[in-house]
Structure 1
């Protein structure tokens, strides 16, 4: 089982939405998505886990590694809607990872109020991303 992802850039904020199960088989694909994110956009990245069915220990480690990669590129990583089956406990050398209850709360933390959520938006996704 793997994941599907969609990355959206709006002004100075990126949103990486992930669907599926972030287990050992999906870590490489998630890391590839993070590489895509690092190469595009600017500013903080919210990883939206609303459609994630769960994650393994390897999946949680992939999240903390993503936070390190983004920090090295001068960008922060935040989480929205983490799975109920686990918490994220990064080790001491990991950058801070803010956690929001859902994507709306994450947007509120960035004071994003747009009348048209797709205005000025760029998006990329895997072929299997649900429409």
Structure 2
């Protein structure tokens, strides 16, 4: 089992939405998504885990690595709606990872709402991401 992802850039904020199960089989795909994120947009990245069914220890470690990678690029990583089956425990060398109860709370902490500025919005996604969930055209 793997993951699907969608990355949306709204003004100076990125939202990486992930669905599926973030386990050993999905680590490479998630790492690729983070590479896509690093190359596009600016500012902090909220990883929206609302659609995630769960994660393994390897999945949690890949999120910690993503936080490090984004920090090197001068960007922060935040989490929204972490799975109930685990908590993220970064080591001392990890940049801070704010955790929000849901995507709305994460966006509110930045003073924005999802879809607030569609003219400044760009989106990329895996082919398996449900098209009915898309509120803006793909770029």
Do the aligned partners of residues 6 and 115 (structure 1) sit closer, same or farther apart at CA in structure 2, a change above 3 Å counting? closer
Partner of 1:53: 53
Return the offset for 1:120: 1.6
Do the aligned partners of residues 2 and 110 (structure 1) sit closer, same or farther apart at CA in structure 2, a change above 3 Å counting? same
Any idea what the Cα deviations from partners look like across 1:10-59, whole Å, max 9, x if unmatched? 00000000000000000000000000000000000000000000000000
Q: Over aligned residues, Cα RMSD in angstroms?
A: 1.3
Partner of 1:44: 44
Partner of 1:79: 79
Return the offset for 1:119: 3.6
Partner of 2:134: none
Partner of 1:13: 13
Partner of 2:4: 4
Query: 5+ unaligned residues in a row in structure 2: which ranges?
Result: 132-139
- The question of 1:118 aligning with 2:110 is answered no
Cα distance in structure 1, aligned partners of 2:48 and 2:117: 16
SS at structure 1 position matched to 2:128: coil
Do the aligned partners of residues 114 and 81 (structure 1) sit closer, same or farther apart at CA in structure 2, a change above 3 Å counting? closer
Question: In the comparison of the two structures, how many residue pairs are matched?
Answer: 131
Instruction: Name the TM-score, length of structure 2 as normaliser.
Output: 0.91
Do the aligned partners of residues 27 and 115 (structure 1) sit closer, same or farther apart at CA in structure 2, a change above 3 Å counting? closer
- The question of 1:67 aligning with 2:67 is answered yes
Instruction: Name the TM-score, length of structure 1 as normaliser.
Output: 0.96
